[in-house]
Amino acid sequence: MPFAEAVVGVEPTDSMREQAETVGGQNISYRKGFSHATALEDRCADIVVCAQALHWMEPLSTFAESARILKGAGVFAAYDYDWPPATTSWQVDQAYASCMQLARRLEQEQGSTGRLKQWDKAGHLARMQESGCFRFVRECLLHHQDQGGAERIVGIFLSQGYVQSLVKLGLSEKDLQIDRLREVAHRAFGSSFTRWFWCARVRIGVV
């Protein structure tokens, strides 16, 4: 039994939307649009969800559009994971953090995403409160357990958009210190999987 009568995905990028459509699902459809211009009808939704993407969206127009399409007492929920997951090895966590800091610095130096506007994730809650679009706003912290090993933690790092941008510019794994991350992870985990913890911060607004 589906949890919703209908789910509508709104995505401005053709390639991303086409990829989602290949997965499909019961009562799920996709349309081209933006967070501030969905082209959906007034008061048509019970829930609006924004998954790890609010930092790319102009806040006030996004909140206003969400309030417009939500029914009375409808919920806007935006969530982001604390990144990366917490593993059972502080050495791996430290090596990942070092790689992330280096990649961010190289990203700025190379100007690979310099033209893209981002909003600080830590400010999401305050911007929702200040927008005047919601009657009630709060933040929740959720977590779940997972399992992973050395190659998975390397794969997670490589999956990041800013890292892929640097790879496409010709930077090697050594340039990004991925070789060190892999070495530390293999030393800590060997060939086995260990327990990880993912944490998500969910900002909730009720219209």
Contact assessment for residue 55 and residue 121, using Cβ atoms and an 8 Å cutoff:
yes
Residues 123-155: tens digit of each pLDDT: 999 999 999 999 999 999 999 999 999 999 999
User: pTM for the full model?
Assistant: 0.81
Average of per-residue pLDDT across 66-92:
93
Contacts of 202 (CB under 8 A, 6+ apart): 77, 78, 79, 139, 140, 141, 142
CA nearest neighbour of 204 among 85, 50, 87? 50
Residues in the chain: 207
Peptide bond into 84 cis (omega under 30): yes
CA distances from 58 to 30, 37, 39, 101 (A): 21, 11, 17, 25
Contact assessment for residue 192 and residue 88, using Cβ atoms and an 8 Å cutoff:
no
**% of the chain with per-residue pLDDT over 90:** 74
**Per-position DSSP letters for 130-145, written without gaps between them:** HHS--SEEEEEEEEEE
Domain ranges in the chain are: 34-206
Q: How confident is the model at residue 1 (pLDDT cuts 50, 70, 90)?
A: very low
Round the average pLDDT of the chain to a whole number and report it. 92
CA distances from 48 to 62, 120, 150, 161, 183 (A): 11, 21, 36, 24, 42
Class of domain 34-206: alpha beta
